Amino acid sequence: MTVDPMKTLERLLEVSRGLGDPVEIETYLQSLLSAAAELTESESASLLEYDEAAQEFYFRHVPWFHREAVRSARVPLNESVAGWVFLHVKPLVIDDTAKDKRHYKKIDKLAGFTTKSILAAPLIVNGKPVGVFEVFNKKEKYSERDILVMESLAALAATALQNNMLEKSVFSSQDEARELDRLKNEFIAIASHELRTPLGLILGHATFLKELLGNEYHEQVDSIIRNSSRLKDIIESLTSVDNYETGGALIRSRKVSVSRIIEDVTSSFHDMARKKGIAIKKETPQGNDLWVDVDSGKIAIVLSNLVKNALTFTNEKGQVIIRGEKQPDYVQVAVQDNGLGIPSNDLPRVFDRFYQVESHLTRRHGGMGLGLSVAKVMVEMHGGRIWVESAEGLGSTFTFLLPVISKSSGPETEKAFVE
């Protein structure tokens, strides 16, 4: 009996569609074995995968009634049909296995099965064989049509195996990334906690010594205080980001004037701007204090980080402008400079923790790449949004939006946000 060509196409289409269904790999392979036996009018079918380390095949899938018998069986690369197909990377038909030494007869003994004829096709992934698909014992001789059917089904089986391998690799990478992230957060938390106390003592004693020592030692003591303060800022930045990511960040919201925050932050950077020969100015609407319901300390940190970043990457005779304006339901703050600008390929990552636009081997401006990530975290804690527009050589504009009215009630509320 010959299988109707239209029925063959319909069956192949059916199993092809199954490749995209959310089913277990073993279930899908079983459907391919059933289709192979049905479409080639064979008694049975099996799928073997190649073990490169052992240089032999194992049965990835066989009919249930042979499963226990051949579960631990292995087929050698040499002196087997599977091995020949694997090495030559092309199908093989044997109409009478009794007359062909390539048939490995030990499997028949284990399974209590007699293989009279066989058709085998290679499983190919990325141009490389990874296994063999076989059908056995057709009443008539296997035809060219049967070979085409088996090659089609072998291609589907190979794709299914590759998809399964990639899926496992993705899950493994995700698990590894989660574990690395956990270890990273744990390290940051421990390191920050352990560094705070000795750093506080260094700062305290250095400040005390400065009052006792003569002017000839002030430069050395100032260096200790300055660098200790820098370390303190780094630790606080690490802790801010870590607390937000782990759900431990708190904000204390109350009604504050963004215009006042802009004025205070601008004043605090006048000396830094003067030393670099940079003009710094603010632009806020007259008679509008830009009231918002936020944690003023955290928003001051956001703005300070943006202004410091602008001053750092702006050359002498440049300028930095801090603007505040009212938008519907939001207050918008922007820090614009005409400095170095940011290369387009770096723009998507400037808010990432530890990301440096400059190479760590060539950069001239210092820092750990935490200021912008801290700014992003603190803006998002308030339900706001931050972004950057920049062109290399022309400068950058960092802008953030803050909702005017907090979702919390009352003049002052302590809230925890989890990402």
Say which CATH number the domain at 94 has: 3.30.450.40
Closest CA to 253 of 105, 144, 402, 393: 402
Q: Given a cut of 50, is residue 418 above it in pLDDT?
A: no
- How would you write 153-183 as a 3-class SS string? HHHHHHHHHHHHHHHHHHHHHHHHHHHHHHH
Decide which of 151, 171, 191 is a domain's last residue: 171
pLDDT, tens digit, for every residue of 29-55?
Answer: 888 988 999 899 999 899 999 998 899
pLDDT value for 413: 38
Residue that wins the pLDDT comparison between 184 and 265: 265
pLDDT value for 277: 94
Domain count, the chain: 3
Expressed as residue numbers, the domain containing 105 is 5-171
pLDDT value for 411: 36
pLDDT value for 419: 30
Q: Are residues 282 and 337 in the same domain?
A: yes
pLDDT value for 417: 34
Q: Given a cut of 80, is residue 356 above it in pLDDT?
A: no
Q: Are residues 13 and 128 in the same domain?
A: yes
pLDDT value for 244: 58
> Taking all residues of the chain, what is their mean pLDDT, rounded to a whole number?
83
pLDDT, tens digit, for every residue of 359-400?
Answer: 433 344 445 567 888 889 889 888 999 999 999 889 999 999
Q: Are residues 130 and 232 in the same domain?
A: no
Q: pLDDT category, 274, cuts 50, 70, 90?
A: very high
Instruction: Say what the pTM is.
Output: 0.50
Decide which of 114, 140, 171 is a domain's last residue: 171
Q: Are residues 182 and 143 in the same domain?
A: no
pLDDT value for 238: 65
pLDDT, tens digit, for every residue of 89-142?
Answer: 999 999 999 889 899 988 888 888 889 999 999 999 888 999 999 999 998 899
Q: Given a cut of 90, is residue 232 above it in pLDDT?
A: no
Q: What percent of the chain has pLDDT over 70?
A: 86
Decide which of 117, 145, 171 is a domain's last residue: 171
Q: What percent of the chain has pLDDT over 90?
A: 36
Q: Given a cut of 70, is residue 245 above it in pLDDT?
A: no
Q: Given a cut of 90, is residue 318 above it in pLDDT?
A: yes
Token representation of residue 410: 């009352």
Q: Are residues 332 and 398 in the same domain?
A: yes
